[in-house]
Amino acid sequence: MTRSTLSLTRLWHLLCLTLAFGVLAAHQADAQGYQIRAGDKLRIEVLEDASLNRSVLVAPDGRISVPQAGTISVRGQSVETVQANLTQRLASNFANTPNVFVSIEQLAEQRERLPTAPAPEPVITVYVMGEVGRPGKLDVKPGTNVLQMFAVMGGFTKFAATKRIQLRRGGAVVSKLNYDAIEKGGQGGQATLRDGDVIVVPQRRLFE
Protein backbone atom coordinates (compact mmCIF):
# COMPACT_ATOMS: atom_id res chain seq x y z
CA MET A 1 0.00 0.00 0.00
CA THR A 2 1.45 3.38 -1.00
CA ARG A 3 1.97 6.29 1.41
CA SER A 4 -0.77 8.35 -0.32
CA THR A 5 -3.23 5.46 0.00
CA LEU A 6 -2.46 5.17 3.73
CA SER A 7 -3.06 8.91 4.18
CA LEU A 8 -6.43 8.72 2.42
CA THR A 9 -7.42 5.69 4.50
CA ARG A 10 -6.56 7.48 7.74
CA LEU A 11 -8.47 10.58 6.62
CA TRP A 12 -11.53 8.45 5.82
CA HIS A 13 -11.39 6.76 9.24
CA LEU A 14 -11.11 10.15 10.95
CA LEU A 15 -14.13 11.46 9.04
CA CYS A 16 -16.19 8.39 9.96
CA LEU A 17 -15.27 8.76 13.64
CA THR A 18 -16.21 12.47 13.60
CA LEU A 19 -19.64 11.75 12.07
CA ALA A 20 -20.24 8.84 14.42
CA PHE A 21 -19.41 11.01 17.44
CA GLY A 22 -21.92 13.64 16.32
CA VAL A 23 -24.69 11.06 15.92
CA LEU A 24 -23.83 9.43 19.26
CA ALA A 25 -23.86 12.78 21.04
CA ALA A 26 -27.31 13.57 19.64
CA HIS A 27 -28.69 10.19 20.78
CA GLN A 28 -27.12 10.64 24.21
CA ALA A 29 -28.77 14.05 24.43
CA ASP A 30 -32.18 12.45 23.84
CA ALA A 31 -31.52 9.68 26.34
CA GLN A 32 -30.12 11.75 29.20
CA GLY A 33 -32.76 14.46 29.48
CA TYR A 34 -30.66 17.04 27.66
CA GLN A 35 -31.94 20.60 27.92
CA ILE A 36 -32.35 22.18 24.50
CA ARG A 37 -30.30 25.30 23.80
CA ALA A 38 -30.13 27.97 21.11
CA GLY A 39 -28.38 26.69 17.99
CA ASP A 40 -29.54 23.08 18.39
CA LYS A 41 -31.24 21.49 15.41
CA LEU A 42 -34.42 19.50 16.10
CA ARG A 43 -36.11 16.92 13.89
CA ILE A 44 -39.91 16.86 13.95
CA GLU A 45 -41.94 13.96 12.53
CA VAL A 46 -45.75 13.80 12.46
CA LEU A 47 -46.97 10.32 11.55
CA GLU A 48 -50.37 11.52 10.32
CA ASP A 49 -49.10 14.38 8.10
CA ALA A 50 -45.74 14.06 6.35
CA SER A 51 -45.93 17.68 5.16
CA LEU A 52 -45.19 18.75 8.74
CA ASN A 53 -41.98 16.70 8.91
CA ARG A 54 -38.99 19.03 9.06
CA SER A 55 -35.73 20.03 10.68
CA VAL A 56 -35.90 23.26 12.68
CA LEU A 57 -33.16 25.40 14.17
CA VAL A 58 -33.57 26.81 17.68
CA ALA A 59 -33.20 30.58 17.26
CA PRO A 60 -31.08 32.75 19.59
CA ASP A 61 -34.22 33.63 21.56
CA GLY A 62 -34.83 29.91 22.21
CA ARG A 63 -37.84 29.49 19.97
CA ILE A 64 -38.82 27.39 16.96
CA SER A 65 -41.57 27.89 14.40
CA VAL A 66 -43.75 25.00 13.21
CA PRO A 67 -46.69 25.13 10.75
CA GLN A 68 -50.11 24.74 12.44
CA ALA A 69 -48.42 25.08 15.85
CA GLY A 70 -46.91 28.56 15.62
CA THR A 71 -43.87 29.77 17.53
CA ILE A 72 -42.86 27.68 20.54
CA SER A 73 -40.30 28.40 23.25
CA VAL A 74 -38.07 25.33 23.68
CA ARG A 75 -34.85 26.54 25.31
CA GLY A 76 -34.11 24.80 28.60
CA GLN A 77 -36.71 22.10 27.96
CA SER A 78 -36.24 18.38 27.38
CA VAL A 79 -37.12 16.68 24.10
CA GLU A 80 -40.02 14.94 25.85
CA THR A 81 -41.47 18.26 27.05
CA VAL A 82 -41.23 19.82 23.59
CA GLN A 83 -42.82 16.73 22.05
CA ALA A 84 -45.77 16.87 24.47
CA ASN A 85 -46.23 20.60 23.92
CA LEU A 86 -46.13 20.23 20.15
CA THR A 87 -48.59 17.32 20.24
CA GLN A 88 -51.02 19.44 22.26
CA ARG A 89 -50.74 22.37 19.87
CA LEU A 90 -51.28 20.22 16.78
CA ALA A 91 -54.14 18.15 18.23
CA SER A 92 -56.88 20.56 17.13
CA ASN A 93 -55.90 19.98 13.48
CA PHE A 94 -56.54 16.22 13.60
CA ALA A 95 -59.53 13.99 14.31
CA ASN A 96 -57.43 12.01 16.80
CA THR A 97 -54.37 12.96 18.80
CA PRO A 98 -51.45 12.94 16.34
CA ASN A 99 -48.30 10.90 16.84
CA VAL A 100 -45.55 13.50 17.08
CA PHE A 101 -41.88 12.62 17.47
CA VAL A 102 -39.15 15.13 18.32
CA SER A 103 -35.44 14.33 18.42
CA ILE A 104 -32.11 16.15 18.54
CA GLU A 105 -30.75 16.13 15.01
CA GLN A 106 -27.61 18.12 15.73
CA LEU A 107 -26.16 19.79 18.80
CA ALA A 108 -25.07 23.42 18.67
CA GLU A 109 -21.65 22.73 20.14
CA GLN A 110 -20.97 19.96 17.62
CA ARG A 111 -21.53 22.31 14.69
CA GLU A 112 -19.21 24.86 16.26
CA ARG A 113 -16.38 22.31 16.52
CA LEU A 114 -16.50 21.27 12.89
CA PRO A 115 -13.67 22.86 10.89
CA THR A 116 -14.80 25.49 8.42
CA ALA A 117 -12.96 27.28 5.68
CA PRO A 118 -11.90 30.81 6.64
CA ALA A 119 -14.38 33.41 5.44
CA PRO A 120 -12.92 35.67 2.75
CA GLU A 121 -14.69 38.63 4.31
CA PRO A 122 -16.67 39.46 7.47
CA VAL A 123 -20.19 38.06 7.72
CA ILE A 124 -23.18 38.45 10.00
CA THR A 125 -25.52 35.64 11.01
CA VAL A 126 -29.27 35.96 10.46
CA TYR A 127 -31.68 33.24 11.64
CA VAL A 128 -34.66 32.53 9.38
CA MET A 129 -37.64 30.61 10.73
CA GLY A 130 -40.99 29.49 9.38
CA GLU A 131 -42.38 29.23 5.87
CA VAL A 132 -39.33 29.94 3.71
CA GLY A 133 -37.29 28.00 1.19
CA ARG A 134 -34.08 27.94 3.27
CA PRO A 135 -34.90 28.10 7.00
CA GLY A 136 -32.05 28.08 9.47
CA LYS A 137 -28.84 29.94 10.19
CA LEU A 138 -27.67 32.01 7.22
CA ASP A 139 -24.43 34.00 6.94
CA VAL A 140 -24.61 37.15 4.82
CA LYS A 141 -22.47 40.22 4.19
CA PRO A 142 -22.66 43.12 6.64
CA GLY A 143 -25.02 45.74 5.24
CA THR A 144 -27.47 43.19 3.80
CA ASN A 145 -30.99 44.61 3.89
CA VAL A 146 -34.37 42.93 4.33
CA LEU A 147 -35.21 42.78 0.62
CA GLN A 148 -31.87 41.17 -0.20
CA MET A 149 -32.40 38.68 2.62
CA PHE A 150 -35.72 37.58 1.13
CA ALA A 151 -33.76 36.40 -1.94
CA VAL A 152 -31.05 34.69 0.13
CA MET A 153 -33.57 32.68 2.15
CA GLY A 154 -35.02 31.10 -0.98
CA GLY A 155 -38.45 32.70 -1.16
CA PHE A 156 -41.59 31.50 0.60
CA THR A 157 -43.60 28.28 0.86
CA LYS A 158 -47.26 28.06 -0.11
CA PHE A 159 -48.15 28.33 3.60
CA ALA A 160 -46.37 31.67 4.13
CA ALA A 161 -48.20 34.67 5.57
CA THR A 162 -46.14 37.19 3.61
CA LYS A 163 -48.04 40.17 5.01
CA ARG A 164 -47.14 39.33 8.63
CA ILE A 165 -43.38 38.79 8.53
CA GLN A 166 -41.58 39.63 11.78
CA LEU A 167 -38.08 41.01 12.27
CA ARG A 168 -36.86 40.21 15.78
CA ARG A 169 -33.84 41.70 17.48
CA GLY A 170 -32.75 40.88 21.00
CA GLY A 171 -35.90 38.80 21.58
CA ALA A 172 -38.28 41.65 20.69
CA VAL A 173 -40.23 42.28 17.48
CA VAL A 174 -38.70 45.45 16.05
CA SER A 175 -40.56 45.47 12.75
CA LYS A 176 -43.56 43.89 11.04
CA LEU A 177 -43.05 43.51 7.31
CA ASN A 178 -45.39 43.13 4.35
CA TYR A 179 -43.53 41.49 1.48
CA ASP A 180 -46.16 42.42 -1.11
CA ALA A 181 -45.89 46.09 -0.16
CA ILE A 182 -42.08 45.99 -0.01
CA GLU A 183 -41.93 44.43 -3.47
CA LYS A 184 -43.89 47.44 -4.77
CA GLY A 185 -41.47 49.89 -3.16
CA GLY A 186 -43.05 50.16 0.28
CA GLN A 187 -41.20 50.76 3.52
CA GLY A 188 -39.12 48.16 5.32
CA GLY A 189 -37.22 46.57 2.47
CA GLN A 190 -34.15 48.77 2.87
CA ALA A 191 -33.77 48.18 6.62
CA THR A 192 -30.24 46.94 7.33
CA LEU A 193 -29.97 43.65 9.19
CA ARG A 194 -27.70 43.13 12.19
CA ASP A 195 -25.82 40.11 13.47
CA GLY A 196 -28.20 37.83 15.40
CA ASP A 197 -31.40 39.18 13.84
CA VAL A 198 -34.27 36.72 13.44
CA ILE A 199 -36.77 36.76 10.57
CA VAL A 200 -39.98 34.82 11.22
CA VAL A 201 -42.42 34.03 8.41
CA PRO A 202 -45.57 32.62 10.08
CA GLN A 203 -48.06 30.26 8.55
CA ARG A 204 -51.02 32.00 6.94
CA ARG A 205 -54.44 31.62 8.46
CA LEU A 206 -57.44 30.11 6.73
CA PHE A 207 -58.62 32.36 3.84
CA GLU A 208 -55.72 34.76 4.43
The whole-angstrom distance between residue 104's C-alpha and the CA centroid of its chain comes to: 12
Q: How much is the pLDDT for 116?
A: 60
Q: What is the pLDDT of residue 143?
A: 94
pLDDT at 82: 92
Asked if 192 and 149 count as a contact pair (C-beta separation under 8 A), the reply is: no
Q: In what order do the strands lie in the sheet with 136-140?
A: 136-140, 124-130, 198-201, 165-169, 172-177
Q: What are the distances in angstroms from CA 12 to CA 6, 24, 27, 33, 130?
A: 10, 18, 23, 32, 36
- Among residues 158, 114, 108, the alpha carbon closest in space to that of 137 is found at 108
Q: What share of the chain has pLDDT > 70, as a percent?
A: 78
Residue-wise pLDDT for 13-27, tens only, equals 444 444 444 444 445
Nearest in space to 19 (alpha carbons), one of 110, 89, 92: 110
Q: How would residue 94 be classed by pLDDT, with cut points 50, 70 and 90?
A: very high
- pLDDT for position 204: 86
Domains in the chain: ranges and CATH: 1-116 (3.30.1950.10), 117-201 (3.10.560.10)
Q: What mean pLDDT value characterizes the chain?
A: 82
What's the whole-number mean pLDDT along residues 141-169? 93
CB 99 within 8 A of CB 47: yes
Q: Is the pLDDT of residue 168 over 90?
A: yes
Q: Of 52-61, 109-118, 135-144, 196-205, where does mean pLDDT reach its minimum?
A: 109-118
What pLDDT is attached to residue 207?
A: 75
Asked if residue 149 has pLDDT above 70, the reply is yes
The pLDDT of 91-98, averaged and rounded, is: 92
Q: What's the confidence (pLDDT) of residue 24?
A: 41
Tell me the average pLDDT across 133-159: 92
The pLDDT value recorded for residue 187 is 84
Return d(Cα 162, Cα 189) in angstroms, integer.
13
* Per-residue pLDDT at 31 exceeds 60: no
Pairwise CA distance, residues 20 & 28, whole Å: 12
171-192: pLDDT as tens digits: 888 999 999 899 888 888 899 9
